[in-house]
A and B are shown apart, each in its own frame.
Chain A
Amino acid sequence: AQKITQTQPGMFVQEKEAVTLDCTYDTSDPSYGLFWYKQPSSGEMIFLIYQGSYDQQNATEGRYSLNFQKARKSANLVISASQLGDSAMYFCAMREEEDFNKFYFGSGTKLNVKP
């Protein structure tokens, strides 16, 4: 089974609108971390936000927030007030306590912000 699933290959959002990028994960480990990365067309991978499985509150970093629903095993990224510079690929990733030697990445979602 896939450890990380991102079901939206591509999405469009109007500038200044909010957008949610979906991520579901599969693990039986009670302790794990969830990460989101942004990859603009220039290619670099930029860390955006982290959520720990035991964190009581949803993580937020500026315009990025993580809608963490543990029972549903989902960790959706919410970008508020989209900007043209948000156009990029977005990857969800997970690391488990039982095997912290590995990070699991989803297939990514390509976000296009329209002016």
Chain B
Amino acid sequence: DSGVTQTPKHLITATGQRVTLRCSPRSGDLSVYWYQQSLDQGLQFLIHYYNGEERAKGNILERFSAQQFPDLHSELNLSSLELGDSALYFCASSVHRQTKGTQYFGPGTRLLVL
């Protein structure tokens, strides 16, 4: 158990809908990262938050948005969903200002858009 929690574990929805994925980082970690992993693909970095502030953006679509709350949990909002958004979405947390700061991953949320 990495200490990072993600809910829900599975999500099935329809095209055009909106969903929210939730992540709680490890105790003491201020950094939260979101990744998308499509079937048999590598990890696509979406966005990074540190202590409530957006710090880096990757290949995140305009239909997607995220935020980190004062209690450090984070939410990834996916709207106007398309079939191609079906993927495994990971949240990871780490200690921030260290190259040694390993990312610890949550179990992921499997999103299926029908």
A106 to B43 alpha-carbon distance, docked (Å): 8
Known contacts A43-B107, A45-B90, A101-B50: does B102 contact A35 (CB below 8 Å)? yes
Task: Note all chain B residues with C-beta closer than 8 A to A91.
Answer: 42-43
Known contacts A43-B110, A45-B90: does B55 contact A35 (CB below 8 Å)? no
* A interface residue numbers (CB < 8 A to B): 31-33, 35, 37, 43-47, 50, 52-53, 91, 93, 95-97, 99-108
Known: A44-B107, A47-B102, A97-B99. 13 other contacts (CB 8 A): A32-B99, A43-B108, A44-B2, A44-B108, A46-B2, A47-B103, A96-B99, A100-B99, A100-B101, A101-B55, A101-B56, A104-B45, A108-B42
Q: How large is the interface on B (under 10, 10 to 19, 20 to 34, 35 or more residues)?
A: 20 to 34
Known contacts A43-B88, A43-B108: does B99 contact A103 (CB below 8 Å)? no
Nearest-neighbour CB distance to chain A for B89, whole angstroms, equals: 11
A-B contact count (CB 8 A): 63
Nearest-neighbour CB distance to chain B for A82, whole angstroms, equals: 22
Nearest-neighbour CB distance to chain B for A89, whole angstroms, equals: 9
A102 to B110 alpha-carbon distance, docked (Å): 23
A100 to B45 alpha-carbon distance, docked (Å): 13
Contact A44 B99 (CB under 8 A): no
Task: Note all chain A residues with C-beta closer than 8 A to B90.
Answer: 45
A11 to B97 alpha-carbon distance, docked (Å): 35
